[in-house]
């Protein structure tokens, strides 16, 4: 695997670019990950193969696809140094084996300080080369009744916005709780697709998940692909699921409510152009222009 330069965008693909006449099929994988890395990787492999067989050329995995421990600190046991490790090798090998772009949900990478990790998304092209890296910036904190979450106890936040160039255009990277911060998505610039690998809780997902995803698609006039954890986990946690693809008008193209599976649909550049022509809000923006 090659290191990714610290830049807003990374290397360009050698794939044939998508055009308005040739939609580009993408897929989100929904999982119910367990406290067993090898089992999770086997489940992810099966779903990647299913998505590729159905014509997907880009596959998005959910947050924590590789591991959902019994307690927050369990993830420290499987953290990897950046550049090598069984989870990183799995992602690179799967991308090459199936000939697809893989956006690897998140995995725990070693942080500078002991006792914390970086919650990191890595992107691999169909040759198995790493093309982008994003460390989750916003860390989830939620207290309601018996539910208590504070990611800052075990995760070091990232600092930079990250995008990469896919064959159909720019893709913006975000993770889960980032979804509540629209300024992050504006900083990504002119994207054809924004992705949101997630593990939303059942409580917050039921209340806000779909509304926030559709808002990000509508205000940025681009596709949004969200891959979620979706079901009752062995650690007792319940996640919301509802992985989906949303088009630039805010319409849901495809969705899966609960349980493991594949959600697929097309990135249609003609649809992006049509929406931006009929309602040119992207062009009309005044504040925060790059």
Token code pair at residue 181: 């911060």
Output helix, strand, coil percentages for the chain, rounded to the nearest 5: 30, 30, 40
Buried b / exposed e along 226-257 (16+ C-beta atoms within 10 A): bbbbbbebeeebbbbbbbbbbbbebebbbbbe
Closest by CA position to 170, among listed 153, 155, 192, 150: 192
Q: H helices within the chain, ranges in order?
A: 37-53, 86-98, 182-187, 202-204, 210-220, 269-278, 281-284
CA dist list (Å): 197 to 19, 73, 228, 246, 279: 26, 21, 6, 14, 28
Q: What is the CA radius of gyration of the chain?
A: 18
Q: What is the DSSP letter of 66?
A: T
User: How many CB atoms lie under 10 A from the CB of residue 187?
Assistant: 15
Residues assigned a catalytic role: 63, 136, 176
Integer Cα distance of 252 and 43 in angstroms: 26
């Amino acid at each position: 695997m090659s290191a990714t330069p610290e830049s807003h965008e990374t290397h360009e693909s050698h794939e044939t670019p998508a055009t308005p006449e040739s939609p580009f099929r993408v897929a989100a994988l929904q999982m119910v990950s367990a406290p067993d890395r090898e089992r999770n990787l086997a489940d992810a492999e099966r779903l990647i193969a299913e998505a590729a067989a159905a014509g997907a050329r880009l596959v998005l995995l959910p947050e924590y696809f590789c591991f959902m421990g019994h307690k927050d600190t369990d993830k420290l046991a499987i953290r990897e140094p950046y550049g090598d490790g069984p989870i990183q090798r799995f992602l690179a090998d799967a991308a090459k084996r199936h000939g697809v772009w893989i956006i690897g949900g998140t995995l725990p990478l070693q942080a500078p300080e002991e006792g914390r990790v970086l919650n990191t998304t890595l992107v691999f092209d169909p040759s198995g080369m790493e093309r982008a890296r994003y460390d989750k910036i916003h860390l989830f904190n939620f207290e309601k009744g018996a539910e208590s979450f504070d990611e800052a106890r075990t995760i070091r936040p990232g600092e930079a916005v990250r995008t990469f160039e896919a064959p159909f255009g720019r893709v913006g990277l975000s993770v889960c709780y980032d979804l509540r911060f629209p300024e992050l998505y504006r900083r990504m610039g002119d994207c054809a697709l924004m992705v949101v690998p997630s593990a939303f809780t059942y409580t917050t997902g039921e209340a806000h998940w779909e509304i926030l995803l559709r808002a990000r698609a509508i205000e940025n006039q681009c596709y949004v692909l969200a891959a979620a954890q979706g079901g009752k986990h062995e650690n007792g946690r319940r996640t919301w699921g509802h992985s989906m693809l949303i088009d630039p008008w805010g319409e849901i193209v495809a969705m899966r409510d609960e349980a493991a599976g594949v959600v697929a649909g097309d990135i249609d550049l003609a649809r992006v152009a049509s929406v931006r022509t009929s309602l040119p809000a992207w062009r009309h923006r005044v504040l925060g222009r790059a």
